[in-house]
């Protein structure tokens, strides 16, 4: 567990500097719609933030990494193997998982049941309903979903519980890399804390996590390192305890990060 997660108002561990480099995902001078010349890396067991103002290009970069948008140039590697995804199915096959910013539009089927949403990932094995219910119940209890009812219609859950189910859906597959776009948008504080706790546990299990958000406080609280984007470019890589909110905001606006 080389990368314990941080705690301020609701941190779940104490931040410290990384102890080893074990790169799970890396991009070098990547270009696409909304971003260019973008370089970053995420190590196993590390939670890395990618932030900026709303038009910085970080959300577009996240979509492109999962095969949801075209990559026009640069290199992209997963576990040291250069990748070029034609779509999300290719990304999933390479060990990536993705939590979108709009869970209702892009992540969940609100008219289906919780268990159906949890096990919608492509599989060659048909799970019997009883086994599916049992597995869904375990996941829902683990992620603190209320009510923990596999036959509850997805649209009837609160936003926070929907987001926890969406995260559970992807982490159940034990991805190598988890990319999240605005993972706690529109959820209450209790749900936010639980989502952060689950990300910490996933990191401890070796998952490489990229959290993409314009919530500077969230990435400062949660992440071991934070990349800042501005005008489509990565302009800074802020390590450990230096990732304070005022510094990230300054860098996002074009400052040197030293203003208070």
| Bridge pairing between strands 47-51 and 225-230 | parallel
Considering the domain architecture, whether residues 188 and 251 belong to the same structural domain is answered as yes
Q: Per this entry, what is the length of the chain? A: 260
**The last residue of a domain, from among 130, 157, 173:** 173
Residue 128 belongs to some domain of the structure:
yes
pTM of the complete model:
0.88
Give the 3-state secondary structure of the chain: CCCCCCCCCCCCCCCCCCCCCCEEEEEEEEEECCEEEEEEEEECCCEEEEECCCCCCHHHHHHHHCCCCCEEEEEEEECCEECCCCCHHHHHHCCEEEECCCHHHHHCCCCCEHHHHHCCCCCCCCCCHHHHHHHHHHHHHHCCCCCCCCCCEHHHCCHHHHHHHHHHHHHCCCCCEEEEECCCCCCCHHHHHHHHHHHHHHHHCCCEEEEECCCHHHHHHHCCEEEEEECCEEEEEEEHHHCCHHHHHHHHCCCCCCCC
For 57, the token pair is 């290009």
Residue 101 belongs to some domain of the structure:
no
Whether the predicted pLDDT of 125 surpasses 80: no
User: What does the pLDDT average to over 150-159?
Assistant: 93
Q: Per residue in 73-95, pLDDT tens? A: 999 999 999 998 989 999 999 99
Residue 149 belongs to some domain of the structure:
yes
pLDDT for residue 128: 63
Owning domain of residue 241: 1-95+175-260
Residue 103 belongs to some domain of the structure:
no
Considering the domain architecture, whether residues 113 and 5 belong to the same structural domain is answered as no
**The last residue of a domain, from among 126, 154, 173:** 173
What is the share, in percent, of the chain residues with pLDDT greater than 70? 87
Residue position matching structure tokens 């649209």: 155
139 φ, ψ (degrees, to nearest 5): -65, -45
Considering the domain architecture, whether residues 147 and 254 belong to the same structural domain is answered as no
Considering the domain architecture, whether residues 184 and 62 belong to the same structural domain is answered as yes
Considering the domain architecture, whether residues 55 and 181 belong to the same structural domain is answered as yes
38 φ, ψ (degrees, to nearest 5): -95, 125
Residue 100 belongs to some domain of the structure:
no
Considering the domain architecture, whether residues 169 and 183 belong to the same structural domain is answered as no
Considering the domain architecture, whether residues 195 and 91 belong to the same structural domain is answered as yes
For 234, the token pair is 């990565």
Please check whether residue 185 is in contact with residue 101, taking contact to mean a CB–CB distance below 8 angstroms.
yes
For 54, the token pair is 């709303």
CATH code: domain of residue 2: 3.40.50.300
Q: Which of 185, 195, 248, 239 is nearest to 217 (CA)?
A: 248
Residue 86 belongs to some domain of the structure:
yes
Considering the domain architecture, whether residues 148 and 211 belong to the same structural domain is answered as no
Considering the domain architecture, whether residues 188 and 78 belong to the same structural domain is answered as yes
Query: Which residues, 6+ apart, have CB-to-CB distance to 11 below 8 Å?
Result: 5, 196, 221, 222
Residue 209 belongs to some domain of the structure:
yes
State the pLDDT confidence band at 3, using cuts at 50, 70 and 90. Answer: very low
Residue position matching structure tokens 């995260």: 167
Please check whether residue 78 is in contact with residue 177, taking contact to mean a CB–CB distance below 8 angstroms.
yes
Considering the domain architecture, whether residues 167 and 52 belong to the same structural domain is answered as no
pLDDT for residue 5: 42
Considering the domain architecture, whether residues 222 and 166 belong to the same structural domain is answered as no
**The last residue of a domain, from among 152, 173, 194:** 173
Considering the domain architecture, whether residues 151 and 216 belong to the same structural domain is answered as no
Sheet of strand 81-82, all strands in order from the earlier edge strand to the far edge: 35-43, 23-32, 71-78, 81-82
Half-sphere exposure of 16 (CA within 13 A, CB side): 8
State the pLDDT confidence band at 259, using cuts at 50, 70 and 90. Answer: low
Residue 102 belongs to some domain of the structure:
no
- Mean residue pLDDT of the chain comes to 87
Overall domain count for the chain: 2
């Amino acid at each position: 567990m080389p990368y314990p997660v941080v705690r301020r108002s609701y941190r779940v561990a104490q931040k410290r500097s990384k102890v080893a480099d074990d790169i799970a995902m890396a991009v070098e001078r990547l270009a696409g719609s909304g971003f260019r010349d973008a370089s970053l890396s995420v190590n196993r067991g590390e939670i890395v933030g990618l932030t900026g103002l709303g038009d910085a290009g970080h959300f577009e970069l996240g979509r492109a990494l999962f095969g949801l948008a075209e990559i026009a140039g640069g290199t992209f590697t997963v576990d040291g193997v250069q990748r070029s995804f034609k779509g999300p199915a290719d990304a999933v096959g390479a060990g990536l998982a993705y939590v979108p910013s709009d869970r209702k539009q892009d992540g969940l089927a609100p008219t289906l049941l919780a268990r159906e949403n949890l096990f919608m990932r492509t599989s060659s094995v048909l799970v019997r309903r009883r086994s599916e219910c049992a597995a869904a119940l375990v996941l829902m209890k683990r992620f603190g979903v209320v009510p923990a009812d596999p036959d509850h219609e997805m649209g009837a859950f609160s936003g926070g519980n929907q987001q926890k189910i969406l995260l559970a859906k992807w982490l159940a597959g034990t991805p190598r890399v988890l990319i999240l776009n605005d993972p706690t948008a529109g959820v209450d504080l209790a749900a936010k804390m639980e989502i952060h706790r689950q990300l910490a546990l996933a990191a401890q299990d070796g998952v490489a996590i990229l959290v993409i958000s314009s919530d500077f406080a969230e990435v400062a609280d949660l992440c071991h390192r934070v990349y800042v984007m501005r005008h489509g470019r990565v302009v800074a890589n802020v390590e450990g305890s230096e990732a304070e909110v005022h510094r990230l905001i300054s860098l996002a606006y074009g400052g040197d990060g030293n203003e208070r």
